[in-house]
């Protein structure tokens, strides 16, 4: 078992690199511990609440007790399946705001400013507007990743955007184009009614080439000899073996498992490795640090008319939806039901959006439990740029043991102020005339929660992770003691080893992380191949009165 490049993890970035490196004629072996992504639970977009709650597709991680959330342990799903988390996520497609990437560059990730990453977003996309307008000049049209918009047939879905406009916010017909700020149609990695994961977009075409192989195994450590990564030690069945890399080993195992694998391999904070009896190869203090995520809360309303998806939320209804999808890849099963979006600023003086909305024409939890009231609707809302930072550490030197994950959520005063603003701004949007025909009482948090203290109580009890962990092997300048990889994704202090996935984000981006994770795979591939696309200077829209106005 030997190839030019050995990639650990068949997730969003790993699949992308397998495709690009094999396309360039390099031999590639991809190591993935998870199994097949076949079957309706993953491939049917409408079934999205199932795979992230299924042990066969998910690593099943939980955070340590979170000190600022009353000791709650939050679910931290990561895909353990072909396609990684792109096979179990909500399929929402958000590039991130231009300013997010300019900030990366300011933090030492030279060449990762918006002008530097935009050509890769365009290269990966095959964008379809679905008749809902958009910004075609700023989008890609022949990439492997299909990006589409839902039919937006539900009147609640349209009311949400209308209400945003009535509340005085911008409307945008393409938040992935020039203007992120505002309300408009949501985009998704769905194609012809099927989840268009990184496995469907990138890995399957790559595996058709003779020079790309997939190996089902658990990676235990990177083999580093005389300061150079030469392979990966894996357990396959009951056998331990080494898969050799002639050129490089590339770790793309997620923001939870990538730092874990580096630490098991002797790359990480020296004192922490010594605690677990691991010989230090490279003392990198930043490995496992800088953990970030988005938290969100559902603001749920009862609906006075039977227009929500609740009518289908029973065995018969789900059976009918599933049957229609199996026969024709159409109907409610062909959409993730997140068809309207919003990005707004929490207050004057914030330059670009720091609050995201996912609107859902039903009142339901991520685990698939519907609200007892029946018909309803909800907005998932949360701040985008929390100052809280956590870490991933080893529980032991045993590769089979889960790492310890502490997000340290809500650890700053600003986190609480931002979240209270999210709830109050959402209530104002739901109070607009567009919702008048449908608006019942507030289910969650409920009308009783009004003061700061009352809202804090609701936040503490009800916030959930949006499942966007990142930042644990952050990219930065080579002389930055906290950086783990340089701007070409090379692990500082080890030859022939790179990390390329959401763990390298210096700071979390606006919105869902699947699109920027795939972009990292695209751009890292070019760094590995010693080439790059020319930067594109397309300026983003920034609210002209942002210094003095919230909207």
- On whether the CB atoms of residues 503 and 267 are closer than 8 A, the answer is no
90 is in an annotated binding site: yes
User: How many CB atoms lie under 10 A from the CB of residue 59?
Assistant: 19
CA distance 338 to 149: 9
30 is in an annotated binding site: no
Give first-to-last CA distance, the chain, whole Å: 58
Output DSSP code: residue 66: B
Tokens at 149, concatenated = 């918009």
Residue whose C-alpha is closest to residue 250's, from 533, 422, 15: 15
Residue whose C-alpha is closest to residue 76's, from 61, 54, 65: 61
- On whether the CB atoms of residues 194 and 203 are closer than 8 A, the answer is no
Tokens at 375, concatenated = 């018909």
CA distance 322 to 503: 36
Tokens at 281, concatenated = 């190869």
Which 3 state secondary structure label does DSSP give 343?
strand
CA distance 85 to 515: 12
Q: Strands 267-268 and 282-283: what pairing? A: parallel
User: CA geometry: angle at 290 spanning 297 and 478, to 5°?
Assistant: 145
CA distance 542 to 102: 14
Residue whose C-alpha is closest to residue 157's, from 379, 432, 442: 379
CA distance 390 to 226: 32
The residue written with tokens 């230090």 in the block is 280
Q: Of these residues, 462, 468, 527, 543, which one is catalytic?
A: 468
Q: Per-residue DSSP letters for 86-102?
A: GGTS--B-----HHHHH
CA distance 170 to 153: 22
- On whether the CB atoms of residues 477 and 486 are closer than 8 A, the answer is yes
91 is in an annotated binding site: yes
User: How many CB atoms lie under 10 A from the CB of residue 371?
Assistant: 22
117 is in an annotated binding site: no
CA distance 286 to 269: 7
527 among known catalytic residues: no
Q: Strands 239-251 and 497-499: what pairing? A: parallel
Residue whose C-alpha is closest to residue 13's, from 65, 112, 83, 104: 83
The residue written with tokens 């199996």 in the block is 326
Tokens at 83, concatenated = 């396609």
Cα separations in angstroms, 13 against 83, 338, 346, 509: 9, 24, 32, 16
Does the N-terminal peptide bond of residue 445 adopt cis geometry, omega within 30 degrees of 0?
A: yes
Binding-site residues, please?
81, 89-92
Task: Provide the annotated binding site for FAD.
Answer: 81, 89-92
Q: Which residues are catalytic?
A: 468
């Amino acid at each position: 078992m030997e190839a030019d490049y050995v990639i650990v993890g068949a997730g969003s970035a790993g699949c992308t690199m397998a495709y690009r490196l094999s396309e360039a004629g390099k031999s590639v072996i991809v190591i993935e511990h998870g199994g097949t992504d076949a079957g309706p639970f993953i491939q049917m977009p409408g079934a999205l609440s199932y795979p992230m709650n299924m042990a066969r597709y998910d690593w099943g991680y939980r955070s340590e007790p979170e000190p600022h959330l009353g000791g709650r342990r939050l679910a931290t799903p990561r895909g353990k399946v072909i396609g990684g988390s792109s096979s179990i996520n909500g399929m929402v497609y958000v590039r991130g705001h231009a300013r997010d990437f300019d900030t990366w560059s300011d933090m030492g990730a030279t060449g990762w400013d918006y002008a530097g990453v935009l050509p890769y977003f365009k290269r990966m996309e095959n964008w379809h507007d679905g008749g809902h307008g958009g910004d075609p000049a700023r989008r890609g049209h022949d990439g492997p990743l299909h990006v589409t918009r839902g039919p937006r047939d539900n009147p609640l879905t349209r009311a949400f955007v209308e209400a945003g406009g009535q509340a005085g916010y911008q409307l945008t017909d393409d938040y992935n184009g020039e203007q992120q700020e505002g309300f408009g149609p949501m985009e998704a990695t769905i194609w012809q009614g099927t989840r268009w994961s990184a496995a469907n977009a990138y890995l399957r075409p790559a595996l058709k080439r003779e020079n790309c192989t997939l190996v089902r195994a658990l990676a235990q450590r990177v083999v580093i000899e005389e300061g150079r990564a030469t392979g990966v030690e894996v357990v396959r069945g009951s056998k331990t073996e080494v898969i050799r890399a002639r050129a490089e080993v590339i770790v793309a195992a997620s923001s939870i498992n990538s730092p874990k694998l580096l630490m098991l391999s002797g790359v990480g904070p020296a004192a922490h490795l010594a605690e677990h009896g691991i010989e230090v190869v490279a003392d990198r203090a930043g490995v496992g640090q800088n953990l970030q995520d988005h938290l969100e809360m559902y603001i749920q309303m009862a609906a006075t008319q039977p227009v929500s998806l609740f009518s289908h939320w029973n065995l018969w209804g789900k059976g009918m939806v599933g049957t229609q999808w199996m026969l024709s890849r159409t109907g409610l099963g062909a959409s993730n039901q997140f068809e309207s979006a919003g990005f707004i600023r929490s207050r004057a003086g914030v330059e670009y959006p720091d609050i995201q909305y996912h609107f859902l024409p039903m009142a339901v939890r991520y685990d698939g439990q519907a609200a007892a009231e029946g018909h309803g609707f909800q907005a998932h809302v949360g701040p985008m740029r929390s100052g809280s930072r956590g870490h991933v550490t080893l529980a032991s030197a045993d590769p089979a043991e889960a790492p310890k994950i502490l997000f340290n959520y809500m650890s700053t005063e600003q986190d609480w102020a931002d979240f209270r603003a999210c709830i109050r701004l959402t209530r104002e949007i739901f109070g607009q005339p567009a919702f008048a025909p449908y608006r019942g009482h507030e289910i969650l948090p409920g009308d009783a929660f009004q003061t700061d203290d009352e809202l804090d109580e609701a936040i503490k009890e009800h916030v959930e992770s949006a499942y966007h962990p990142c930042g644990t092997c952050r990219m930065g300048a080579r002389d930055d003691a906290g950086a783990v990889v340089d701007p070409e994704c090379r692990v500082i202090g080890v030859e022939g080893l790179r990390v390329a996935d959401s763990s390298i984000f210096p700071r979390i981006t606006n919105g869902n992380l699947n699109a920027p994770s795939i972009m990292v795979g695209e751009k890292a591939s070019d760094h590995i191949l010693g080439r790059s696309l020319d930067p594109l200077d397309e300026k983003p829209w920034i609210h002209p009165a942002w210094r003095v106005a919230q909207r």
